[in-house]
Structures are given as C-alpha cells and as structure tokens.
C-alpha cells in the first residue's frame, strides 16, 4: 500500500538534495510534485491543493530557523506532519463503556462489515478482556447470518440471531436484552447492506440506531474504491452522523486515497483499518504511524 505515493513523494524532495535552500522557487517545484503525487493516489484535487498550501506556508516560514537541519529533512518533516494532520492527527479509540456497550456497524454490502464484526469481537475479547455478543440484523440475506455464526465461533464470541424475524429493530433490541440477561460487556450489531446507497436502507439503519442508541456507530468502507469510498462516507455521515470510520481491504489498496481523504471530508476519525481476510488482521488506526510509513 502507498508504494506509488511513497516513491513519488521521495521524488518530490529531490529539489532539496545537498544544501539546496528553501526558496520560493524550490518549494514551488517540490509542491507541484507533491500535489501530483496526492492526486495520483486518488486524493481529490481540492484537498491536495489545500494540503500543499499548508506545506508551503510552513516551509517558507521555516527557512530561517533550525539551521542545523538540512532543507530536505525539514521538508520531509513538514509533509509528514501535514499527512498526519490530514488523516486525523491523534488516534481515537472506541467508546465501549456500558452495561452492555453497544456498537452499530453500517456500510454497503461487500464493504467488509461482517468480517469486521468478527474482527472487532476478537479485538475486544483479546485486548480489553470483554465478553462479546454479536448479532446479525441482516433480514434479507440468510447467508449473512450463517457467515456471522461461523465467525463468532471462530473468535469465541456469543451470537444472537432470529432467522425468522424480519424486523431489524426488534432483533437489535432483543439482542441487547439478551446481553443484559447474560452479562455480556458489549454487543456488536451487524446490519444489512445494499450494493448502493438507497433510501430504504438508510431509513432502516437510522431506525435501528434511534432504537438502540449505540455508544458507537462505525461506518465500514472498502478503501479500494478510492473516491467512491469517500463519497459514500459523506452520504452515510449526512444521514447517520456516525462516530468513526473503518477502512477495509487496505492490503489491496495500492493508492491510499480513501485513507488520506476520508477524515477531511466527513470530519470523523478513522478508528480501525482492516488488512486481510483473517480475523487477526485488524489494526487500531494511528495517523502518525501511517504517515511515517508513507514517508519511511
């Protein structure tokens, strides 16, 4: 992931090899390349432009300070810091306080919701020592219930399901009652997705959300879809005002545009990234580590 972006950014710093100074002309040459690199990574032009404007301001503002630092190193540091900011600055964890805590999972079909539900269950069980219940509120695809059942067994989480019930609000409420009765610490509610955003789907998930008042609503999106991922995030956020983003399939996303621009677009933190099909392949998202990786 990000290989191309890393290579191109490295190229953009070539202007500053040796003692080449930070001057308006040198900075402008470098910024043009940085902007192109971001756009090639599928970052929207407006975001790329704003990004390079900020880098420019910092670079020109820094030309007389820190004489000990080489201009090239200084530019790398400035770009790295700005990339960290663009991706959200600080890492933001999930809120799982409650008896039980409730986490609602939303997103399009195929984005990786059910896989993530299993991964999050494992994460909370292993890292936070929580007793986890998952529930399948997909009333359209019986296969989705089977898939979650298999995953719950694999990760050692409880499962609540009502295959005959076609009312997702009822299933979610019953799951929470079941969790209370059986002393689960957290309930993860997996919901139905559609292939594209539609009104009925949005209404259904909004109804579930309003009924269960989750601690966290997480929006799951396939990072390989680049700008589309960002646009879908906007539609879901306008309707659901979700708490955080989960980027999936980062293992297949060579460009990285969604990771770089989703925070800017919806102003919600990326909380987790998923990097494979195995249950262990989930990471808490750290913007600083990601930008270090890009410029590593």
Q: 158 vs 276, which CB is nearer to ligand GDP?
A: 276
| Rg over CA atoms, the chain | 22
Cβ atoms of 31 and 57 closer than 8 Å: no
Q: Does residue 88 have a known ligand-binding role? A: no
Which of 44/275 has CB closer to ligand GDP?
275
The span from the CA of 74 to the CA of 53, in Å, is 16
The least CB distance from residue 157 to ligand GDP, in Å, is: 15
113 is in an annotated binding site: yes
Q: Is 251 annotated as a binding residue?
A: yes
d(CA 190, CA 144) in angstroms, rounded, equals: 9
**CB nearer ligand GDP, residue 55 or residue 136:** 136
Q: What does DSSP say about strands 282-284 and 270-274: parallel, antiparallel, or unpaired?
A: antiparallel
192 among annotated binding-site residues: yes
Residue in 160, 171, 285, 148 with CA at minimum distance from that of residue 221: 285
Chain CA centroid to CA 280, Å = 17
Question: Which residue number, 265 or 275, has a Cβ lying nearer to ligand GDP?
Answer: 275
Q: Which CB, 232 or 248, lies closer to ligand GDP? A: 248
Task: Give min distance, CB of 288 to ligand GDP, in A.
Answer: 22
Report, in Å, the least distance between residue 235 CB and ligand GDP: 16
Q: Is 106 helix (H, G, I), strand (E, B) or coil?
A: strand
* Cα dist from 212 to 136, 215, 235, whole Å: 14, 9, 21
Residue 97 in marked binding region: no
In whole angstroms, the minimum distance from the beta carbon of 115 to ligand GDP comes to: 3
Smallest CA-to-CA distance from 282 within 149, 170, 116, 38 is with 116
Query: Which residues of the chain form contacts with ligand GDP (CB under 6 A)?
Result: 107, 109-115, 193, 248-249, 251-252, 274-277
Q: Is 190 labeled as ligand-binding?
A: yes
CB of 203 to ligand GDP, least distance (A): 19
List binding-site positions for GTP: 107-114, 190-194, 248-251
């Amino acid at each position: 992931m990000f290989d191309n972006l890393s290579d191109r950014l490295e190229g953009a710093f070539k202007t500053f090899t040796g003692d080449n100074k930070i001057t308006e002309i040198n900075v402008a040459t470098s910024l043009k390349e940085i902007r192109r690199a971001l756009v090639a990574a599928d970052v929207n032009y407006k975001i790329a432009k704003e990004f390079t404007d900020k880098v420019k301001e910092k670079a020109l503002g820094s030309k007389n300070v820190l004489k000990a630092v080489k201009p090239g190193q200084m530019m790398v540091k400035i770009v790295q810091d700005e990339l960290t900011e663009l991706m959200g600055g600080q890492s933001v964890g999930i809120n799982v306080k409650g008896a039980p805590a409730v986490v609602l999972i939303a997103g399009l079909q195929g984005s990786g919701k059910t896989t993530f539900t299993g991964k999050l269950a494992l994460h909370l069980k292993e890292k936070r020592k929580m007793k986890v219940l998952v529930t399948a509120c997909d009333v359209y695809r019986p296969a989705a219930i089977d898939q979650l059942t298999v995953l719950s067994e694999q990760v050692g989480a409880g499962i609540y399901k009502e295959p005959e019930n076609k009312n997702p609000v009822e299933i979610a409420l019953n799951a929470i009652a079941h969790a209370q009765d059986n002393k689960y610490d957290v309930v993860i509610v997996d919901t139905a997705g559609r292939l594209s955003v539609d009104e009925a789907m949005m209404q259904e998930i909004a109804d579930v959300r309003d009924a269960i008042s989750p601690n966290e609503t997480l929006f799951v999106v396939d990072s390989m879809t680049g700008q589309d991922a960002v646009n879908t995030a906007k539609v879901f956020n306008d309707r659901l005002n979700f708490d955080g983003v989960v980027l999936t399939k980062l293992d297949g996303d060579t460009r990285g545009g969604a990771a770089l621009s989703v925070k800017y677009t919806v102003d919600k933190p990326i909380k987790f990234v998923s990097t494979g099909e195995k249950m262990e392949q989930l990471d808490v998202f750290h913007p600083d580590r990601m930008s270090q990786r890009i410029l590593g």
